[in-house]
Amino acid sequence: MVARGDESAYRQLFEHYWPRVYSVALLLAKVPEAAEDAAQEIFAQLWIKKEQLVNVREFRAYLFATARNHIFNKLRGQVFTGSFTAYLQEYFSDALANPAATLEFKEAEQIIHNGINQLTPQQQKVFRLSRFQGLSHAEIAAETGLSQRTVKNYIVSANLSLRNYLEKHAGSSVIFLWMLLSL
């Protein structure tokens, strides 16, 4: 019914799923205001794209996949608005209150940067434009004069190289930090 524009069906859907979507957003974002904003944006997008719901067989799975992707995109966007270090320090602030965790964080950050420095110069440039400046493949292609396909290939190969490097040189916490980069 929501797909046909039924506002009361949408309201029921909103009331039923809001607490769960908000909880997932809070778990991932760790900031109540950001979680609330994300949940509101998710439900707004549901209404805007309501016609597409006709093709959805498992609404709950669709909703949570949509929520997860939206929240990860917001988190990745936060990485791009400031320094990567500042973002990670804020995200892991509870753990970083512990001096040992702070040292581990700094070591992890250094290992990740060393891994990036092991990439070819072109991979480094494309990877940094993508992950640290938040540019799309099209924007990177325009800035570097490469094709979008080449940009994508560089990013894929950079991710593979970094994963291999980190598996050899790092523990699970470093690999988790790298996963944030590769969202």
Position 89 scores a pLDDT of 59
Residue 153 confidence (pLDDT):
92
29 and 40 together in one domain:
yes
3-17, 68-82, 83-97, 112-126: which is most confident: 112-126
**CA-to-CA distance for 106 and 83, rounded, in angstroms?**
14
| Confidence (pLDDT) at 147 | 94
Determine the pLDDT at residue 142. Answer: 93
Q: Quick one: what percent of the chain has pLDDT higher than 70?
A: 75
- Please write the tens of the pLDDT for every residue from 89-131: 565 555 555 666 566 667 777 888 888 899 999 999 998 888 7
Higher pLDDT among residues 81 and 56, named by residue: 56
Q: Mean of the pLDDT values across residues 144-170?
A: 87
Q: What pLDDT shows up at residue 183?
A: 44
Domain range for 29:
2-81
My answer on whether 97 and 156 are in the same domain is yes
Computed over every residue of the chain, the mean pLDDT equals 78
Whether 90 and 176 share a structural domain? yes
Write phi, then psi, for 116 (nearest 5 degrees): -65, -40
Asked if residue 154 and residue 137 are part of one domain, the reply reads yes
Domain count, the chain: 2
Distances (CA, A) of 102 to 33, 91, 106, 143: 26, 13, 6, 36
Q: Looking at residue 156, which CATH number applies to its domain?
A: 1.10.10.10
Phi-psi region of 120 (alpha: psi -120 to 50; beta: other; left: phi over 0): beta
Residue 179 predicted with pLDDT over 70: no
The answer to whether residues 118 and 74 belong to one domain is no
User: Greater confidence, 4 or 145?
Assistant: 145
Q: Select the more confidently predicted residue: 71 or 156.
A: 156
Q: Which residues contact 160 (CB under 8 A, 6 or more apart)?
A: none
Question: What does the alpha-carbon distance between residue 76 and residue 181 come to, in Å, rounded to a whole number?
Answer: 7
Point out the domain boundary residue: 29, 50, 81.
81
Same domain, 31 and 98: no
